[in-house]
Structures are given as C-alpha cells and as structure tokens.
Amino acid sequence: MENYSKTIAIKGIVNDETESYFSGEKSAEEVAGLLQARVMLLLNE
C-alpha cells in the first residue's frame, strides 16, 4: 500500500474511532488504544 493510500486509511480509522469518543460511548484512553492498535496493524501490512 503506498503512502497516500495509508494516509487516507488512517484518516478513516481516526474518523471511525473518534466518533465513539464524541458520542460518549468510549473514553479518550480507550479510543487512543484502539487507534494505536488499528494504525499499527495497517502500517505493519
């Protein structure tokens, strides 16, 4: 996956995960952990 595609994918991950924070479903810490895990998976592909 090229850098531009990864950037777009990361933006999507951030949008997906932060939605649950802003709606009050998850804490900032939970969202940060999920973001880190998902982005690392993507970068390690």
Confidence (pTM): 0.84
Q: By residue range, what is the domain housing residue 33?
A: 3-43
Residue 2: pLDDT band (50, 70, 90) is confident
Q: What is the CA radius of gyration of the chain?
A: 11
Backbone torsion region of residue 27, taken as left when φ is above 0, otherwise alpha when ψ lies between -120 and 50, otherwise beta: beta
Report how many domains make up the chain. Answer: 1
Residue 23: pLDDT band (50, 70, 90) is very high
Dist. CA 31–CA 43, nearest whole Å? 18
